[in-house]
Structure 1
Amino acid sequence: MFLGDGMSLPTLAAARTLLGQRAGRPGEESQLSFEAFPTVGLAKTYCVDSQIPDSACTATAYLCGAKANLGTIGLTAAAPRGDCAASQRRANRVHSVAAWALDDGRDAGIVTTTRVTHASPAGAYAHVADRDWESDAAVRAAGADPRQCPDIAHQLVHSHPGNRFKVILGGGRREFLPEHVEDEEGAPGLRADGRNLIEEWQADKARRNATYHYAWNREQLLQANATLPDYLLGLFESSHLRYNLETDPATEPTLAELTEVAIRSLARNERGFFLFVEGGRIDHAHHDNHVELALDETLELSAAVARAAELLDERDSLLVVTADHAHVMAFNGYTHRGGDILGPSDDADSDGVPYMTLSYANGPGHRRAEGSKRPDVTQDADYRELRWRSHADAPLASETHGGKDVAVFARGPAAELFAGVLQQSQLPHIMAYAACVGDGARLCDAHSAAPERD
């Protein structure tokens, strides 16, 4: 399952246009790798208690198969955000398709460009009343007891199903290290309990007499790709991985490279595997109104999907690509065919002031009007630099999510079931049916036992 965090429909249209324009074409006719998949549907993204979702309640939906409350992960809507006691009640917990796969003898793993403890990947393994409880210090700061409600990093290392993931690749070293310990690049940890969870992960694998490898840079990852240990943990930044356009390729792997290593590792299990891959920084760039970064991160996800499609046979491997929620980037104006997707519209407002083809309904890109006219953003001193902010209507410190449906693309066994307008929480149940795991196993058994009809 590939997840473009915040990958709205306008983001897809703009990203494919940028892809073509980078190749010297008009752009609009271009196609992202997964847009060639035979099945396309839409998913409704709302939370139980919120019209506009976040990445926590949506992760619970598309990975665990249940709608949830804003900010909660791996819990039913009976657990309010921040309620530690409610999160510990077994009846309030829901389990992910990754756990269903493991229980059936498959392998599982996660890959992300965010912290591996961030909301989206945490949906694969955590049960937590607040998505911000990534380390014990965050649990304590909220007035809860981490001994009663373990933090997300602790759950990944010590609890089922995270402690059985064969591959964990992303960022977030700080959530695993004590406050007094600096990581390989000099950034301090955040943990207040004095525990080094990276070392505890290594010790756990040693006790199992398994081969294991911890990587913090690209070279070490490629070494692991050559040897393929039983377990692989890669944490490549203190927090999130850097944006592709701002990274150092000598030290930080691409999402496609991470995906290939994960697939090669997990594919050794003859029974199969479940892998979650997130292009998580699409969302972060949108929140900051950095439209070029958001579109480029979308292209990186497309490249990762293309690599997976090359490695996996369509006859026995289901690939699903979707988003968790939308954003409020607008693709607007009456620009001529092939017009610069990152430039101004051919049109102008009623005062004759230019506006951008891609702009935002709200966010940090707001410019206050001087007099009765909007400011001309094309006159900004940093206009079109990588971190130049496109115009936003309502001023906010961070651009918001949108409530629009998101696309679902599928290729492989049972792909046709992803067509139509779906509840987001249906997605893992369809995947489970295709793989015959979890509740889907009973449906598979019933289907195979049904008499054939003439």
Structure 2
Amino acid sequence: MVNAGSLGATWIAFACCLCFVITYDSGNVCCSHAADAKEYTEQDKQYWIKNGKEKVTEKVKYVNKRGVAKNIIMFLGDGMSLTTLTASRIYKGQMEKRSGENEYLSFEKFPFVGMSKTYCVDKQVADSACTATAYLSGVKTNYETIGISASVKLNDCPGSMAPENRTDSIADWSIAAGKAVGLVTTTRVTHASPAGVFAHSANRNWESDADLAKAANLTDVTHCEDIAKQLITRSPGIDIKVSICQCGYSNIDALILIFQKTSCIRFGKDKSAYVENKEQLLNVDPSKTDYLLGLFESMHMKYHLKADASKQPTLEEMTKKAIEILQKEENGFFLFVEGGLIDAGHHQTTARLALDETVELSKAVQQAVDMTSEDDTLIVVTSDHSHTMTMAGYPVRGNDILDLSGSLGSDKLPYTTLSYANGPENLQPDVNCARQDLSKVDKSNFF
């Protein structure tokens, strides 16, 4: 363990060492107090020295909060790999008519960053189910299972029902501590990531009673409940105060439909609201609302770039409304917010959609930062797993991130800066099994 005093000393020592390194060839500017009136550019070495000094000073001056957070907001970028972050910050800048490379997503300015190992107990490559269990309960489990330990194999219904095999999520802990719980996602509410908040299932695909009926042909599901039913009949699902998500009408338990038609029947209380579109959501009065259910689409929400902005709320707007309602809680709250369509865009190998959804998540995070105080609220932004999107070639500074890299492959054909190692099949295969000449392809549709 490192105490606050030694930690501060460590930071100062690190800052001095770093300052020495970056200014070794600059006349020891760390010790200089003279104002430098000249405006340097990236072509000048002094520009980078000054930039380094400012970053070190910023870190040295930062005061780490040592108290206990009253509120916790956890943002999850589903499938948001490191390459996605790099490409998204460039995309963000280029959408604002800048080159993009030196941009920041809102959460890239946070004072601390860490890495996690995203494997399942039985798989090298993790899915959203085993990872949701890991980051929401602290327990790694098997591929495609939710809220249970790794002693339960995929499709083992009896094993998943044993209390000793069930994990407790942050939602459980929050409710036990007297805190309110909220859930916001751009996917259907029974999808793997949001289900990790409230469900226990030996198969992430057992989302509805219809899914369980199909599974009954392969395994014993006699005593299992589908994920939708757990949401509205079991704690912690039934205790969630703010749920802004998607219903999944075509693949959902009949009880969810009853839920949707009877306007928050599960609450059975005053000061509750049910909304189906952007206007209704924005018109919800937080001072008069303690319970909110928002269902906007029949399955996942539409991608931000493809949605009707007058009807579908943004992730930022949904996050804002959730915080407005939960901030009234005397004992604080836990809010889980998922940007789930980053993953969907990558699965379709549509980089433009994935990058745009990442920028939308960044906006939602900034909204949360603006509405809360670091004195009592902990905000964490993470991802559950990566994707196969890569960046390659040596495109010039400011090159369109969604265009050709400017380089040629060994086959003398151009290739894009971003590419995928797997995904949907090529709909226009070359008869000679050669690559397409991408210089002749409409990249606006390609991505």
With the length of structure 2 as denominator, give the TM-score of the two structures.
0.80
Indicate the residue corresponding to 1:449 in structure 2: none
Q: Which amino acid aligns with 1:254?
A: T
For 2:110 and 2:371, the matched residues in 1 are separated by 15
Change in Cα spacing, 1:17 to 1:140, as seen in structure 2 (3 Å) is same
Q: Give the 5 Å matches for 1:384-403.
A: 384-386=443-445, 388-389=446-447
By percentage of residues, which structure has more strand?
1
Identity %: 49
Equivalent residue in structure 1 for 2:198, among 125, 130, 135: 125
Q: Does 1:307 align with 2:367?
A: yes
Change in Cα spacing, 1:361 to 1:189, as seen in structure 2 (3 Å) is closer
Structure 1 residue 292 displacement after superposition: 0.3
Structure 1 residue 374 displacement after superposition: 1.9
- Which structure carries more relative contact order (alpha carbon 8 Å, separation 6+)? 1
Indicate the residue corresponding to 2:187 in structure 1: 114
Q: Give the 5 Å matches for 1:250-329.
A: 250-329=310-389
Equivalent residue in structure 1 for 2:297, among 225, 237, 241: 237
Indicate the residue corresponding to 2:155 in structure 1: 82
Q: For residues 109-142 of structure 1, give each alpha carbon's deviation from its aligned partner in whole angstroms, at most 9, with x where no partner exists.
A: 1100000111001101001111111111111111
Q: For residues 266-324 of structure 1, give each alpha carbon's deviation from its aligned partner in whole angstroms, at most 9, with x where no partner exists.
A: 11112111000000000011001101000000000000000000001012111100100
Q: Secondary structure at the match of 1:31?
A: coil
Q: Does 1:63 align with 2:136?
A: yes
Indicate the residue corresponding to 2:413 in structure 1: 353
Indicate the residue corresponding to 2:223 in structure 1: 148
Structure 1 residue 147 displacement after superposition: 6.4
Indicate the residue corresponding to 1:363 in structure 2: 423
Structure 1 residue 204 displacement after superposition: 2.7
Change in Cα spacing, 1:194 to 1:163, as seen in structure 2 (3 Å) is closer
Q: Which amino acid aligns with 1:170?
A: C
Change in Cα spacing, 1:139 to 1:21, as seen in structure 2 (3 Å) is same
Change in Cα spacing, 1:195 to 1:215, as seen in structure 2 (3 Å) is closer
Q: What are structure 2's unaligned runs of at least 5 residues?
A: 1-73
Q: For residues 329-385 of structure 1, give each alpha carbon's deviation from its aligned partner in whole angstroms, at most 9, with x where no partner exists.
A: 0111011111111000111102210000000111115464443742213323xx223
Indicate the residue corresponding to 2:235 in structure 1: 160
Q: Does 1:376 align with 2:444?
A: no
Say which is worse superposed, 210-219 or 272-281, in terms of deviation.
Answer: 210-219
Q: Does 1:172 align with 2:231?
A: no
For 2:252 and 2:433, the matched residues in 1 are separated by 48
Q: Secondary structure at the match of 1:196?
A: helix
For 1:244 and 1:270, the matched residues in 2 are separated by 34
Q: Which amino acid aligns with 2:352?
A: E
Structure 1 residue 202 displacement after superposition: 2.5
Alpha-carbon contact 2:271-2:290 (below 8 Å) kept? yes
Alpha-carbon contact 1:135-1:154 (below 8 Å) kept? yes
Indicate the residue corresponding to 1:197 in structure 2: 259
Change in Cα spacing, 1:370 to 1:317, as seen in structure 2 (3 Å) is same
For 2:349 and 2:244, the matched residues in 1 are separated by 27
Indicate the residue corresponding to 2:42 in structure 1: none
For 1:225 and 1:35, the matched residues in 2 are separated by 32
Equivalent residue in structure 2 for 1:221, among 259, 275, 281: 281
Q: Which has the larger radius of gyration?
A: 2
For 1:85 and 1:63, the matched residues in 2 are separated by 23
Change in Cα spacing, 1:195 to 1:225, as seen in structure 2 (3 Å) is closer
For 1:210 and 1:193, the matched residues in 2 are separated by 21
Q: Secondary structure at the match of 1:327?
A: coil
Change in Cα spacing, 1:228 to 1:65, as seen in structure 2 (3 Å) is farther
Q: Which amino acid aligns with 2:130?
A: C
For 2:281 and 2:254, the matched residues in 1 are separated by 29
Alpha-carbon contact 1:112-1:169 (below 8 Å) kept? yes
Q: Secondary structure at the match of 2:224?
A: coil
Alpha-carbon contact 2:228-2:253 (below 8 Å) kept? no
Change in Cα spacing, 1:147 to 1:103, as seen in structure 2 (3 Å) is farther
For 2:89 and 2:158, the matched residues in 1 are separated by 46
Q: Does 1:36 align with 2:109?
A: yes
Structure 1 residue 195 displacement after superposition: 6.6
Q: Which amino acid aligns with 1:377?
A: L
For 1:200 and 1:121, the matched residues in 2 are separated by 23
Change in Cα spacing, 1:191 to 1:160, as seen in structure 2 (3 Å) is closer
Structure 1 residue 327 displacement after superposition: 0.1
Q: Secondary structure at the match of 2:422?
A: strand
For 1:107 and 1:287, the matched residues in 2 are separated by 34
Q: Secondary structure at the match of 2:266?
A: helix
Question: What is the aligned-residue RMSD (CA, Å)?
Answer: 1.9
Indicate the residue corresponding to 1:185 in structure 2: none
For 2:115 and 2:327, the matched residues in 1 are separated by 29
Q: Secondary structure at the match of 2:115?
A: strand
Structure 1 residue 262 displacement after superposition: 0.6
Q: Secondary structure at the match of 1:385?
A: helix
Q: Secondary structure at the match of 2:93?
A: helix
With the length of structure 1 as denominator, give the TM-score of the two structures.
0.78
For 2:87 and 2:363, the matched residues in 1 are separated by 16
Change in Cα spacing, 1:99 to 1:194, as seen in structure 2 (3 Å) is closer
Say which is worse superposed, 264-273 or 1-10, in terms of deviation.
Answer: 264-273
For 1:155 and 1:146, the matched residues in 2 are separated by 15
Say which is worse superposed, 214-223 or 160-169, in terms of deviation.
Answer: 214-223
For 1:13 and 1:195, the matched residues in 2 are separated by 40
Q: Secondary structure at the match of 1:241?
A: coil
Indicate the residue corresponding to 1:450 in structure 2: none
Indicate the residue corresponding to 2:208 in structure 1: 135
Q: What are structure 1's unaligned runs of at least 5 residues?
A: 175-187, 390-454
